[in-house]
Structure 1
Amino acid sequence: MPKISEKGQAMPSSPVRKLVPFAEAAVKKGRTIYQLNIGQPDIKTPEQALQAVKDADMEVLEYSHSAGNQSYRDKLANYYNNLGFDISSDDIIVSTGGSEALLFVMGSICDQGDEVIIPEPFYANYNGFAAASGVTVKPIHTKIEENFSLPSIAEFEKLITDKTKAILICNPGNPTGYLYTENEMQQLAELVKKHDLFLVADEVYREFAYDGRIHHSVLSLKGIEQNAIMVDSVSKRYSMCGARIGCLVSKNKEIMGAAMKFAQARLSPPTFAQIAAEAALDTPQEYFDEVIQEYIERRDLLINGLKEIEGVKVANPGGAFYCVAELPVEDTDAFAQWLLEYFDLNNETVMVAPAAGFYSTPGMGKNQIRIAYVLEKEAIRKSIKILQAGLKEYTA
């Protein structure tokens, strides 16, 4: 029998989606499941984005340009320039979600066996993108006791070798919700300039910064214009996860030229989704003001509730809509599966994401979970009670 590739064997399962069969089985038993495992917001998509697709008048659904529609890239450039960045449409390649943009980046800057340093825990699919690209992840550990803040630059320098090509961050972070300070971003800028590395920033949660904090983009850093690469997406900003439209942005022409070859190889990003994404750029600030306030209320409700559960430790996120919680169990993979298979409170249970999959270091995060506070507040209240009751029974 023919064998699959080593790359296929090394490809990790999604910690977010691997429990889906158990959730489906629970639903068939008639249970209600509060899905805290996946970052699918329940916030309404801006009406102008949906209407633009309905109003699209075309006789042929054509390919778009491989870099994305010119009109969309022009509006994107204007959006970034309004944030204070000096960006032209030529500095943008539209991708099929931020995921494809990250694959383009890894393919453009790394050869087989090259290394990328990533603070862990990190977005689980970074492991998958690295495996698919033949890239080695060099994790640098962050601590829940320190709210997952940036490790010292000295710790980064211990990991840098002649194979290191980039440092990759998610800002604000998934799964931690950590928002990097201006000083931390400047330290990273000086580090990549010193060692001639790329600084790749996944900024898909840019709008979601709380408590008066300010998001500091990689594109705002002076002196590293040729080192800086930004990945973005409409999925979270406009609650348009199904659109699958993202982009990569860089002033480095060699990077963009290489990435364009990958973009041409996959032909083009989806046409209707670009129409929706272009219209979404007209979303008024009031939309974001309301959404941010809603997420702050959900965060505060969740964090305060988790802190009341005996044995639970939780970091306080400054952005995005995730938190990492440490539970009084040895293996959250087993606990998360048990919640779906064997536990309910009034015929309701919760689905969480075991955090081990958000680490690259074996054995790390085994007693942690990621929670996405993307459900309305009453569902979060019920979820806290279910989790508390579940932990009490599981650890009895």
Structure 2
Amino acid sequence: MPRISAKGQAMPESPIRKLVPYAEAAIKKGRTIYQLNIGQPDIKTPAKALAAVRNNNIEVLSYSHSAGFESYRTKLAEYYRKHDINISANELIITTGGSEALLFTMGSICDAGDEVIIPEPFYANYNGFATASGVTVVPVKSKIEDSFALPPISEFEKLITPKTKAILICNPGNPTGYLYTKEEIDQLAEIVKKHDLFLVADEVYREFAYDGAKHYSIMSVPGLEQNAIMIDSVSKRYSMCGARIGCVVSKNKDFMATAMKFAQARLSPPTFAQIASEAALETEQEYFDEVIEEYTARRNTLVKGLEAIEGVRVANPKGAFYCIAELPVKDAEDFAKWLLESFELDNETVMVAPAAGFYSTPNTGLNQVRIAYVLKQKDLLRAIEILKAALKVYQG
């Protein structure tokens, strides 16, 4: 019988999606599920983006340039310049989501067996991208008691070897919601320059910063031009997850030329999705102001509700729309399955993402879950009520 590759067998399951069969079975039983497991916003996609596709009169759905439409890249560069990121259209490549941007990046800067240092917990698919690229993830642990702030730079320094090629961060963080300060970004900039490494920043949640805080991009750090690689996406910014449009940005010409070869190999990003994404750039600031206000209220509702549950500890997020909660259970994955298989409150239950899959260190985060506050406040309140009741039953 033909064999599956070792790489294929090593590919991790998504902690976000692995419980889907349990959810589907619960739905077949007629249960309502409050889905807190996945970062799918319920915020409406900007009307201009949808109208651009709906009203288009394309007669031949052709390839675009491998780097993406020049018109889109030009307007996207203008958008970044408004956010203190001074780049030109030839310093970015449009990709099929931020996922492809990360795959292009790992393929361009790493050989098989090379290492990338990542503060954990981190976006679970980084493990998958690394496995697909033959890259070893080297975790440096951040702590819930510090709200998942950047670990001391000395901890990074201990992990750097001749195989280390980059430090990768997500800012604001998925799954933690942590927003790195300017001082923390500057510390990372110094260490990558000292050791001649790349600093890769996944900045897809850049618009979602709360309490008056401001997102600080690695692309704004003076003197980091040859080390900085930024990953971005329209998925969260414009609630366009299904568009699958992202980009990779860098001023390092050698890196961009290499990434372009990967872009050519997959031909081009999707045409209609680029049309929608280009139109979305015309979205008024009022849209973002309302979204930030809504997510701030949702965060406050969720954190207050979780803190009121005995035995639950939660880190208060400053960005994105996730938080990590520590539960009074030994195995959060077992609890998450039980919620879907065996528990209901008035025929309703909750779906969460076990946090162990967001760590690379074995047996870490076993009693934690990631919660995405992408539901309306009334639904979040009901989900908290269900979770509280479920914990009482489960512990008993």
TM-score (norm: length of structure 1):
1.00
Pair 1:361-2:355 in alignment: no
SS at match of 2:16: coil
Matched residue, 1:196: 196
1:244 is displaced (CA, Å) by 0.2
Matched residue, 1:267: 267
Amino acid of the structure 1 residue aligned with 2:392? K
CA distance in 1, matches of 2:84, 2:189: 18
**Can you list the C-alpha shifts for 1:245-280, whole angstroms capped at 9, x where unaligned?**
000000001110000000000000000000000000
Matched residue, 1:339: 339
TM-score (norm: length of structure 2):
1.00
CA distance in 1, matches of 2:83, 2:341: 47
1:3 is displaced (CA, Å) by 1.0
1:85 is displaced (CA, Å) by 1.6
Matched residue, 1:81: 81
CA distance in 2, matches of 1:337, 1:9: 23
Matched residue, 1:252: 252
1:12 is displaced (CA, Å) by 0.1
Matched residue, 2:64: 64
Matched residue, 1:210: 210
CA distance in 1, matches of 2:69, 2:347: 48
SS at match of 1:318: coil
CA distance in 1, matches of 2:355, 2:31: 24
Matched residue, 2:145: 145
What aligned pairs does 1:179-328 form with structure 2 within 5 A after superposition? 179-328=179-328
Matched residue, 1:172: 172
What aligned pairs does 1:50-129 form with structure 2 within 5 A after superposition? 50-129=50-129
Pair 1:5-2:5 in alignment: yes
CA distance in 2, matches of 1:394, 1:84: 50
CA distance in 1, matches of 2:152, 2:29: 49
CA distance in 2, matches of 1:56, 1:92: 25
Q: Which runs of 5+ in 2 are unaligned?
A: none
1:84 is displaced (CA, Å) by 1.5
Matched residue, 1:15: 15
Amino acid of the structure 1 residue aligned with 2:286? E
CA distance in 2, matches of 1:343, 1:86: 52
CA distance in 1, matches of 2:43, 2:86: 31
Aligned length: 396
CA distance in 2, matches of 1:58, 1:193: 47
CA distance in 2, matches of 1:266, 1:118: 27
**Can you list the C-alpha shifts for 1:141-176, whole angstroms capped at 9, x where unaligned?**
000000000011100000000000000000000000
CA distance in 1, matches of 2:255, 2:333: 39
1:86 is displaced (CA, Å) by 1.5
CA distance in 2, matches of 1:82, 1:311: 44
SS at match of 2:260: helix
Pair 1:350-2:350 in alignment: yes
CA distance in 2, matches of 1:106, 1:134: 9
CA distance in 1, matches of 2:149, 2:395: 30
Matched residue, 1:380: 380
**Can you list the C-alpha shifts for 1:60-96, whole angstroms capped at 9, x where unaligned?**
0000100000000000000011112220000010000
Amino acid of the structure 2 residue aligned with 1:288? F
Amino acid of the structure 2 residue aligned with 1:180? Y
Instruction: Work out the percentage of aligned pairs sharing the same amino acid.
Output: 74
CA distance in 2, matches of 1:26, 1:309: 25
**Structure 1 residue runs of 4 or more that deviate by more than 6 Å after TM superposition:** none
Pair 1:157-2:157 in alignment: yes
Matched residue, 2:47: 47
Amino acid of the structure 2 residue aligned with 1:132? A
SS at match of 2:297: helix
**Can you list the C-alpha shifts for 1:207-226, whole angstroms capped at 9, x where unaligned?**
00000111000100111100
Amino acid of the structure 1 residue aligned with 2:354? P
Q: Which runs of 5+ in 1 are unaligned?
A: none
SS at match of 1:2: coil
SS at match of 2:346: coil
CA distance in 2, matches of 1:85, 1:296: 25
Amino acid of the structure 1 residue aligned with 2:128? G
CA distance in 1, matches of 2:101, 2:291: 26
CA distance in 1, matches of 2:84, 2:393: 52
SS at match of 2:229: strand
CA distance in 1, matches of 2:2, 2:255: 37
SS at match of 2:161: coil
1:58 is displaced (CA, Å) by 1.1
SS at match of 2:151: coil
CA distance in 1, matches of 2:291, 2:83: 19
Amino acid of the structure 2 residue aligned with 1:257? A
